[in-house]
Amino acid sequence: MENFKDKVVWITGASSGIGEALAMAFAKEGAKLVLTARRQDELERVKKSTGLPDGSVLILPMDVTEFENAESAATQVISRFERIDIMVHNAGVSQRSYIRDTSLEVYQQLMNVDFFSTVALTKAVLPYMMQQKSGHFIVMSSVAGKIGTIMRSGYNAAKHALHGFFDSLRAEGYPDNIKVTTICPGYIRTNISVNALNESGGKFGKMDSNQENGIPADECAQRILKAVANDKKEIYIGGFQEVAAIYIKRFLPNLLFDQVRKNIPE
């Protein structure tokens, strides 16, 4: 079982939700943190909440879709801590709009945030992990990475893409002791639906009832740490309905497809 004490953990999307909860959980385990999001003031708040000394936390504000900055960001982390042990790809945005209404630019934005940003940062971090002969990527996918649902077409596509890319990385990285744990959350109590993109790229601005009644983010974070410590390759976190849907798709796909088309969002 992996011990996180003094491990250098870089978390994107660290200013709220699951990212913030992971920062707290890793801090309790004695890890050193790199916290990335766009809002520096919120990152400072999270840093303070961890209770870690200044020397154990690096605030690294950035927009992950500015791909050209990925390598320089990785260099800053190495300059500060001399290694990167765990890369948590948590930054992301969801969607609430029908295909017929959604502009191509919204699809491009979804792919940039949810997929291409992880590729850019992975390529920036990977050489250091290969050099140190160790590393672990935690990839925040979703149940949507397994099942396509209504009003989430672009989000579903981006999350499906993550599985293909990181399954390949898991295989390619094996000789260098580089690991991948893909996380598939269902309904977690965060603001993901509030911040989701609508058909024109604005904020959806509403809390889904399923999200509001979902699993607390701190409980989700604890399950993630346990999975990573035990080198799980892929895990599902959610209520019975979401997790069961993954297995129904595998064994009874027609039944699942019928249920999805009937499940019109509120």
Q: What backbone phi and psi angles, to 5 degrees, belong to 111?
A: -65, -35
Q: Are 30 and 6 in contact (CB under 8 A)?
A: yes
Residue 68 structure tokens: 């050209």
Please report how the helices 40-50 and 17-28 are oriented relative to each other, as an axis angle in degrees rounded to 10.
Answer: 30
Question: For residue 114, which of 40, 39, 166, 173 has the smallest C-alpha distance?
Answer: 166
Say which amino acid occupies 148: G
Rounded to the nearest 5 degrees, what angle is found at the Cα of 178, between the Cα atoms of 28 and 235?
Answer: 60
Q: What angle do CA 30, 31, 37 make, to 5 degrees?
A: 135
Catalytic site residue 155?
yes
> Token digits for 126?
């990977």
Q: Which of 155, 174, 187, 247 is catalytic?
A: 155
Single-letter amino acid code for the residue at 50: T
CA distance 233 to 225: 13
Residues serving a catalytic function are 155
